[in-house]
Amino acid sequence: MSFKQFRWIGLVAAISLTAPQTAALAQMAGGARTPAVAQAPAGEMFRTRVLYGGPRVWLGHLNGATAIGAQVERGFTSPGQYGSGIISGGVGVDWYSWSFDYQPFGSYDYTVVPVQVFSNYHFLLPKSPKIDPYAGLSLVYSIVSASWKGTGTAGAGASSSTFDFAGQAGMRYFISNKFAVQGQVGFGYGTLGLGASWMF
């Protein structure tokens, strides 16, 4: 094989290897139509490598008590890496408090603080990017305390902690690029949750 023939073969191989990259760059530059997910308005969908956080309330769980709390969540995988959706992780904390009155003798006061480490799978909807449905599991560490206040008796108190697994499913609706309202159902630390999320 002559040097001239070798040079032409090398040139053809180089063009073959760089053609896919060139086409991809052309698509990114607007030369070709990109997938619907990539065309969604920035922020108006659940995105990876972005923090979402905000307050929430839980209704109808521990003895009918209403909890207040907050959570922070971040997407870790890209669409297509593990199915078409995004796997996320986050932490949450809530606070429940209620009392049982035994008048005229006294009352028991209870407080439960569940701290959750959770992971969700977000199902992307390219045609409805403002809607963010998800489902997942949580590891819950609960701090439980109780105290007694009685008439003519000394006060008493006790506390303990537990570990448990819980599940949740819910949906965000993005009202703007950086704000969404959120609803969630679950078991283990809440029944019906309502809240808001800001993108950071």
Residue by residue, pLDDT tens for the chain (200 residues) are 443 443 433 433 333 333 333 334 344 444 444 343 434 444 468 999 999 999 999 887 666 678 899 999 999 999 999 999 999 999 999 999 888 777 777 788 989 999 999 999 999 998 999 999 999 999 999 999 999 887 766 667 888 999 999 999 999 999 998 999 999 998 766 789 999 999 98
Q: Are 114 and 61 in contact (CB under 8 A)?
A: no
User: Which class would CATH give 41-199?
Assistant: mainly beta
The predicted structure's pLDDT at residue 188: 67
Instruction: Choose among 84, 81, 164, 76: nearest CA to 120.
Output: 76
Euclidean distance between CA atoms 43 and 129, whole angstroms: 9
The predicted structure's pLDDT at residue 70: 96
Euclidean distance between CA atoms 116 and 196, whole angstroms: 18
The predicted structure's pLDDT at residue 63: 65
Q: Tell me the whole-structure pTM to 2 decimals.
A: 0.71
Token pair listed for 74: 């971040």
**Domain spans of the chain?**
1-34, 41-199
